[in-house]
């Protein structure tokens, strides 16, 4: 019998319906992990590309179960702290515990006229900064109650470490930068606060990832309209973007015994972008 790196663990993942979240769920399940997953499965007005649907979430459920693992999945908005806490508690009770937290939910409200509004800025902050805060508030008490440690990984971005030169700066893009920088501060504060309980906290910083967030017509138009911005996002390695599995592999390393002494770091998976 092959033993996975995460056998017997349970992970909570936000933004699980597709993209990086789905990839994390499937790859963690392959390593022996059961999954609690949530996703909004609805559209946010400032986001121009189509967001994940309930059908996407159902497909993630199917893929995790195909790996022979359990999953408790529900529609939930990370901006709703009460609903998020209830979803985590229900999943942990059903699966018996919680070990891993992946604060992954994200949006890119930077495209078209929709991205040039105060609402786009607020949506970015509420989903990707306050949503991470809410995720911690929902999960860290469970890890503390269990008393057996855990691993928290926050999805930031290369834009959370270094802001590229932009031809113009929309409200949504400003919110995106602010949120992705802000979660690094949350990560470091949690790392200092919870390290003594053997709860490891890190952030991960991908370059562009081949998910529906950027593989869409609206982003292609943005690339055409903002060549200076896209030029600032070029990787040093000769790839235009990385795959979701590349990020998932890094997450698994952080959450497994192989990364047991990695704590409080900002881990790039960036094909060299931030070395520019």
Contact yes or no for 189/238 (Cβ under 8 A): no
Q: Kindly list the catalytic residues.
A: 176
124, two tokens: 């970015």
Distance CA 209, CA 21 (A): 12
How many C-beta neighbours within 10 Å does residue 222 have? 21
Distance CA 31, CA 156 (A): 23
Distance CA 145, CA 97 (A): 10
Distance CA 92, CA 141 (A): 12
CA dihedral in degrees (267, 195, 258, 159; nearest 10)? -10
Distance CA 207, CA 138 (A): 28
């Amino acid at each position: 019998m092959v033993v996975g790196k995460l056998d017997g663990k349970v992970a909570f993942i936000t933004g699980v319906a597709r993209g990086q979240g789905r990839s994390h769920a499937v790859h963690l399940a392959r390593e022996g992990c059961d999954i609690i997953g949530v996703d909004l499965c609805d559209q946010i007005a400032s986001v121009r590309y189509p967001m994940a649907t309930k059908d996407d979430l159902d497909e993630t459920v199917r893929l995790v179960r195909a790996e022979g693992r359990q999953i408790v999945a529900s529609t939930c908005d990370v901006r709703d702290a009460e609903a998020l806490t209830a979803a985590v508690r229900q999943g942990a009770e059903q699966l018996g515990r919680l070990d891993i937290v992946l604060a992954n939910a994200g949006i890119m409200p930077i495209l078209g006229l929709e991205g040039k509004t105060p609402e786009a800025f607020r949506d970015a902050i509420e989903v990707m900064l306050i949503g991470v805060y809410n995720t911690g508030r929902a999960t860290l008490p469970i890890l503390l109650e269990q008393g057996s440690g855990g691993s928290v990984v926050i999805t930031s971005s290369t834009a959370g470490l270094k802001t590229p030169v932009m031809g113009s700066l929309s409200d949504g893009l400003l919110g995106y930068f602010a949120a992705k920088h802000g979660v690094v501060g949350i990560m470091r504060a949690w790392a200092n606060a919870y390290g003594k309980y053997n709860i490891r906290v890190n952030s991960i910083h991908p370059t562009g990832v081949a998910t529906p967030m950027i593989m869409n017509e609206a982003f292609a138009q943005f690339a055409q309209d903002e060549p200076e911005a896209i030029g600032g996002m070029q990787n040093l390695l000769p790839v235009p973007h990385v795959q979701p599995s590349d990020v998932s592999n890094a997450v698994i390393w952080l959450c497994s015994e192989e990364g047991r002494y990695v704590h409080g770091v900002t881990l790039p998976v960036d094909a060299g972008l931030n070395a520019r």
